[in-house]
Amino acid sequence: AKEFRSLAKKSVFQKEHNAQLLVKILRLQGNIQVCCRVRPMKIKESQAGQNRVTEPLSETEVGCFDTRTQSWKSYAFDKVWGSDVTQQSVFRDVEPLALSVVDGYNACIFAYGQTGSGKTYTMEGSSETGELGISHQTIKKIFTLLEFRSQQQDASVAMHSRKDDDTEGSSKFIFSIKVGMMEIYND
């Protein structure tokens, strides 16, 4: 029992420490981050002889070809994902949002771009490949984290109720989630 209490205390300490680190990271990054995902060329585009007009230059910079000036221009972002990056890699970068939601913060992932630029694929995934998009992965992660928190709370209540029978059931882990998803078109 002592070992269990010791592990429970360490777990609580680690959770608090992780939450503090997340808050520091979010403060350093800022509350709003602008990211760019470069989609691969479609087979039809390649077969038609079209050339790439966007290239990731680094993890934070993308190059775009300006057909008017016939030159490349670069743009800076908080994060750039190239055409070879998987859904899972993109999710790993936005996963801290799920943790912040479980900690009580609001979060929003907003995809913007032209028709055919890859927004739906990034957000919802592909039924053909079975890859889940970041919205599905984030929701799954949030519920996994909430279930873990619920189990932690139940264990903590059970441990404390052994000491004092009056506390049993007084600290139930309760949560409420509201999710909104929408698509806006301006065609």
Contacts of 58 (CB under 8 A, 6+ apart): 80
pLDDT tens digits, one per residue of 52-110: 999 999 999 999 999 999 999 999 999 999 999 999 999 999 888 878 888 888 888 88
Which pLDDT belongs to residue 73? 96
Which pLDDT belongs to residue 163? 60
Which pLDDT belongs to residue 96? 84
Q: What is the mean pLDDT of the chain?
A: 85
Residue 4 has pLDDT above 90, yes or no: no
pLDDT band at residue 36 using 50, 70 and 90 as cut-offs: very high
pTM: 0.73
Contacts of 162 (CB under 8 A, 6+ apart): 1
Residue 119 three-state SS: helix
Which of residues 28 and 9 earns the better pLDDT score? 9
Which pLDDT belongs to residue 151? 86
Residue 126 has pLDDT above 80, yes or no: yes
Angle between helices 134-163 and 2-29 (to 10 degrees): 140
C-alpha distances in angstroms, 169 versus 83, 152, 155, 157? 51, 14, 11, 7
Residue 170 has pLDDT above 70, yes or no: no
Dihedral, 55, 87, 183, 61 alpha carbons, nearest 10: -30
Average pLDDT over residues 163-184: 71
What residues are paired with 64 via a beta bridge? 54, 73
Burial of 100 by CB count in 10 Å (0-12 exposed, 13-18 middle, 19+ buried)? middle
Which pLDDT belongs to residue 74? 96
Residue spans of alpha helices (H) in the chain: 2-29, 43-47, 87-102, 119-124, 134-163
